[in-house]
Amino acid sequence: MDTRTHDDTSDHAVVTRDTLTLRLTVNGKPRQYAIEPWVTLLDLLREHEHLTGTKKGCDHGQCGACTVLVDGKRINSCLALAICKDGAQVTTIEGLEAGDRLHPLQQAFMDHDALQCGYCTPGQICSAQGLINEGHARARDEVRESMSGNLCRCGCYTNITDAIMEVLEQEGAR
């Protein structure tokens, strides 16, 4: 396949079978890529950006391990074509901590033993941050329901909910 890059992210239609130019802000840093249109956001993050915290669990939107924040909203990065997100702000698990200080959700997950194998944890934490951003879930059963898109095969749901409740309560007290 021809791999010339068409630097065309203007408002005009991009019509090409070559690689396309994509601009994203990833964890606060402006980035530019030349990619094929079939590259998912998940594969872009892992293979192009080497941000391997975001996990490819099922690759079909059924497990939530690939959850990232796009413009502050949680989505399954495995079902998003990266090119569709041109211009967006993407936050992964690697982008949540501030300097050397863990994000409150990361700390709470450790404090509450909210993981065993840890494979689902980046998706759980990004999803929980999305839940907090949304502001709809407050009570424990609401948090459980709102985290149903993230599977944990170790079965740490009780502790995951404890961790999120603690951060929600801290946020509410602030």
Partner 1 sequence: MNPFSYARPTGITEAVREGATRHARFLAGGTNLVDLMKENVEQPERLIDINRLPLKKIEDLEGGGLRLGALATNSETAYDPRVARHYPLLSAAILSGASPQLRNAATNGGNLNQRTRCYYFYDRATACNKREPGSGCGALGGVNRIHAILGASDQCIATHPSDMCVALAALDAQVRITGPAGDRVIPLTDYHRLPDDKPWLDNRLRPGELVTAIDLPPEDFSEHYTYLKLRDRLSYAFALVSVAVALRLDGKRISEARIALGGVAHKPWRSPVAESGLAGEQVSREVFANAANALLDGAVGHGDNDFKIELARRAIIRALEQAANGTPQSLFDKRIS
Contacting residues toward partner 1, per CB under 8 A: 1, 11-17, 20, 36-38, 40, 59-61, 64, 67, 73-76, 79-81, 83-84, 86, 127, 130-131, 134, 136, 139, 141-142, 144-146, 148-150
How many CA atoms lie within 13 Å of 73's alpha carbon, on the beta-carbon side?
6
Pairing of strands 73-76, 29-35: unpaired
Side chain identity at 106, as an amino acid letter? Answer: Q
Smaller CB separation from partner 1, 60 or 110: 60
Closest contact distance (angstroms) between CB of 49 and partner 1 is 20
Closest contact distance (angstroms) between CB of 99 and partner 1 is 28
Closest contact distance (angstroms) between CB of 21 and partner 1 is 12
Q: Give the gyration radius of the chain's Cα atoms.
A: 17
Side chain identity at 60, as an amino acid letter? Answer: H
As a whole number of angstroms, the longest Cα–Cα distance in the chain is 56
Smaller CB separation from partner 1, 145 or 169: 145
Q: Which CA distances in Å does 6 have to 22, 30, 110?
A: 10, 19, 45
Smaller CB separation from partner 1, 103 or 144: 144
